[in-house]
Amino acid sequence: LPPAFRSTWRHIMQTKGAQLDILAMRTGTDAASLQKQLHAMELGGWVRRMPGGWYVPLKI
């Protein structure tokens, strides 16, 4: 996992999944930047985007 994604990954792992707006609040990242980061993580196979803006971890 690239170092730039570790904070987001940690929050997703702790909660076993989270919504975009909650992740943005917890990581202190604006939603647009976080959405780009989550998209990259999704393409890398680290998270899966679910209906309702939820992101869940895939690689444990």
Q: Name the token pair of 18.
A: 């989270």
Q: Which domains does the chain have, with CATH numbers?
A: 3-57 (1.10.10.10)
3-state secondary structure of 1: coil
What global pTM score does this model have? 0.86
- In our burial notation (b when 16+ CB lie closer than 10 A, e otherwise), range 15-32 reads eeebebeebbebbebeee
What is the pLDDT tens value at each position of the chain, 60 positions in all? Answer: 889 889 899 999 999 999 999 999 998 999 999 999 999 999 999 999 999 889 999 976
Residue spans of alpha helices (H) in the chain: 6-15, 20-27, 31-43
CA distance 17 to 50: 10
